Structure 1
Amino acid sequence: SVTIETPTTGGALQTDRIMIRPDPYQAQYLPEVRWSEELPVMVQTLMLRSLEATQALRYVSRRPLGAGGDYAIVTEVTDFQAEIAEPDQPVTVRLRMTVSLVRESDVQIVAARSFAASAQSPTSDITDLIGAFDAASDTMLRDFVSWAVGALGRRL
């Protein structure tokens, strides 16, 4: 069984607001638009649902609701934003997370990997941006699930 810990993030991502970066040193948020949950919980939910959908694991849970598993998935989300290079130019949605697979019995990291994905949005319109976030997260989650199931399969 696997427990997915709530991901950690930097302070700017510890929110339910959708972050945009007009330049690498500045973080802003889209006005009047929010994720359905704070970003770490939303990413945890997406990871959990993606792993459950494979039906490759006996049990997938989250803390604090789930019991301790054989393995824990510990994640740090470092990028989850839209980046605006120039006005009237496509917007890049950039996602990145580092994931560790930890054996619960001795708290040893048995596998680790970084995942990244990006997608272009033709405009900064919220509908276009959400489409780009969906495309990038689908790619990143697909890569994560393939890696996690493979890494767990070698240990179970």
Structure 2
Amino acid sequence: MGSNKVWRGARAIGLGVLLAAGLSGCAGGARDDTFSLSSVPEVVGPTAKNRQILVPEPTALKALDSEQVVIRLSGSEIQYLSKSRWSDRLPRLVQSKLIEAFENTGKLGGVGRPGEGLAIDYQVVADIRSFEIDAGGNDRASIEISVKILNDRNGAVKSQRVFSTSAPVVGSGNAAFIAALDKAFSQATGEIVSWALNSI
């Protein structure tokens, strides 16, 4: 797929300009196609019924902290996928799917968001470093998320790891790009949840 043809109509600006502009003028319109992250993988891991965890909203740079789908053309130049948007801000979407994945294991005493009143043992603190389509060569979805397991009782970091996954774009059109991101995120989610269960 030729990148110039595929991304025609997207807004292309340098990363420095993007951050300075605060994403102004890039909000999706009412006619944009809206996508969510659908994949919640089955996870193998030990049971920790005596543990309750908190999943705060992940942190992310402003370029990722929006409803826009990021396309990276080079190391410093990004675009947003035209006529497409996430169903919520990306960090909130990732938080929701991580909570769902932890809950679906049935292996924990409780999983919650801040403010839900759980007696928390550990926090799963994530930072989204990359969540994009890499259009620099072969089009691929690329995701990188740094995760810490934080002891909620004493503030000590019990474990820390960076998760990097990718998936090829199969087909053409916006739905194909989103499907690749969904597949890469599903893999990352499975690895994060399995690792966390083994860490607590």
Task: Give the structure-2-normalised TM-score.
Answer: 0.71
Please state how far the C-alpha of 1:55 moved relative to its aligned partner.
0.5
Greater displacement, 53-62 / 27-36: 27-36
**Corresponding residue of 1:91:** 139
Q: Is the 8 A contact 2:148 2:159 kept in 1?
A: yes
Structure 1 position 25 matched with structure 2 position 50:
no
Larger radius of gyration: 2
Equivalent positions of 1:106-117 (< 5 A) are 106-117=154-165
Give unmatched runs, 5+ long, in structure 2: 1-51
Matched residues in 1 for 2:161 and 2:141: separation?
A: 21
Query: Quick one: which amino acid aligns to residue 37 of structure 1?
Result: D
Aligned to 1:31, the other structure's residue is in SS state: coil
**Corresponding residue of 2:177:** 129
Greater displacement, 61-70 / 100-109: 61-70
Give unmatched runs, 5+ long, in structure 1: none
Matched residues in 2 for 1:31 and 1:68: separation?
A: 43
Aligned to 1:67, the other structure's residue is in SS state: coil
Among all aligned residue pairs of Structure 1 and Structure 2, give the percentage whose two residues are the same amino acid. 27
Matched residues in 1 for 2:119 and 2:175: separation?
A: 39
Kindly report the root-mean-square deviation, in angstroms, between the aligned alpha carbons of the 2 structures: 1.3
Aligned to 1:139, the other structure's residue is in SS state: helix
Q: 1:124 to 1:24 in 2, by over 3 A?
A: farther
Please state how far the C-alpha of 1:103 moved relative to its aligned partner.
0.6
1:85-112 superposed Cα distances (whole Å, 9 cap, x missing partner): 25xxx41110000100001111110011
Equivalent positions of 1:36-47 (< 5 A) are 36-47=87-98
Which is richer in strand?
Answer: 1
Query: Quick one: which amino acid aligns to residue 144 of structure 1?
Result: I
Aligned to 1:76, the other structure's residue is in SS state: strand
Matched residues in 2 for 1:33 and 1:128: separation?
A: 12
Which of 104, 107, 115 is matched with 1:56 structurally? 107
Please state how far the C-alpha of 1:131 moved relative to its aligned partner.
1.3
**Corresponding residue of 2:129:** 78
Query: Quick one: which amino acid aligns to residue 125 of structure 1?
Result: G
Matched residues in 2 for 1:80 and 1:17: separation?
A: 11
Q: Is the 8 A contact 1:91 1:121 kept in 2?
A: yes
Q: Is the 8 A contact 2:110 2:118 kept in 1?
A: no
